[in-house]
């Protein structure tokens, strides 16, 4: 994984395979996330709102950096959030 990131400053990816469950709804089988691998490695990562699903639920984008580049991840997260409107109350 480190060799892959030698040519890139950041990885931008979805935080999960599906939209989030509604409040009180169990995620269920097959609804896993893409954050686990970066939690295990300890790499710096952030998730910010990137849009809204057709059902009115928030959709995020995950920003992942190389080890010891928290400042790059946080700067990218702040920039993305400023362009996508940041946190908004779910419409449902």
Residues 6+ apart with CB under 8 A from 53: 19, 59
The yes-or-no verdict on residue 18 having pLDDT over 80 is: no
Indicate whether 25 belongs to any domain. Answer: no
Indicate whether 90 belongs to any domain. Answer: no
Indicate whether 12 belongs to any domain. Answer: yes
Indicate whether 53 belongs to any domain. Answer: yes
**What sign does the dihedral 79-53-29-23 (CA atoms) show?**
positive
The yes-or-no verdict on residue 30 having pLDDT over 70 is: no
| Average pLDDT for 27-44 | 79
| Average pLDDT for 33-38 | 84
If one counts the domains in the chain, the total is: 1
Residue 12, domain extent: 2-17+32-84
> Residue holding tokens 């892959």?
4
pLDDT at 91: 67
Single pTM value for the model? 0.82
Indicate whether 27 belongs to any domain. Answer: no
Indicate whether 7 belongs to any domain. Answer: yes
CB 10 within 8 Å of CB 48: no
Longest dimension (CA), the chain: 42
């Amino acid at each position: 994984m480190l060799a892959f990131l030698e040519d890139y400053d950041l990885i931008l990816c979805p935080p999960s395979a599906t939209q989030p469950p509604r409040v009180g709804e169990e995620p269920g089988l097959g609804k896993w996330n893409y954050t686990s691998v970066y939690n295990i490695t300890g790499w710096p990562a952030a998730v910010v709102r990137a849009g809204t699903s057709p059902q009115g639920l928030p959709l995020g984008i995950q920003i992942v950096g190389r080890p010891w580049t928290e400042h790059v991840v946080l700067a990218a997260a702040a920039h993305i959030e400023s362009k996508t409107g940041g946190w908004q109350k779910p419409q449902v």
